[in-house]
């Protein structure tokens, strides 16, 4: 699991985070792991830097991972998390 930086982070400092996350998405994807990008409905921009991440992945020729937006109540317990993530968990 990779937590993206807060939305208040200056864009100049964001570059390293985006690159690191893209590295990990690329590595996991190349090893045939399923990568899922989770966004939180209660956070501005879903708490994910999607546009910057898409741009970085596209420059690398890497597909954007599946994205799922969830609510805080959707992760309040193990059962609600399993329900929220549906077909992504085994």
Angle formed by the axes of helices 50-60 and 11-30, to 10°?
50
Enter the pTM of the model: 0.73
Tell me the per-residue pLDDT of 28-85, one tens digit each, with 9 for 90 and over. Answer: 988 888 888 887 776 666 666 888 889 999 999 999 998 888 777 777 777 877 777 7
- Closest by alpha carbon to 40, among 68, 60, 16? 68
CA distance 46 to 44: 5
Detail the DSSP E strand segments found in 16-73: 36-40, 66-70
pLDDT of residue 47: 63
Instruction: Tell me the two tokens of residue 76.
Output: 């309040």
Of the pLDDT bands very low, low, confident and very high (cuts 50, 70, 90), residue 90 is low
Tell me the per-residue pLDDT of 2-12, one tens digit each, with 9 for 90 and over. Answer: 777 777 778 78
């Amino acid at each position: 699991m990779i937590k993206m930086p807060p939305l208040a982070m200056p864009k100049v400092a964001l570059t390293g985070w985006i690159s690191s996350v893209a590295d990990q998405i690329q590595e996991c994807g190349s090893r045939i792991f399923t990568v899922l990008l989770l966004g939180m409905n209660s956070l501005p921009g879903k708490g994910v830097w999607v546009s910057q991440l898409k741009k970085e992945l596209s420059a690398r020729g890497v597909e954007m991972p599946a994205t799922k937006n969830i609510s805080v109540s959707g992760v309040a317990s193990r059962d609600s998390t399993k329900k929220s993530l549906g077909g992504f968990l085994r």
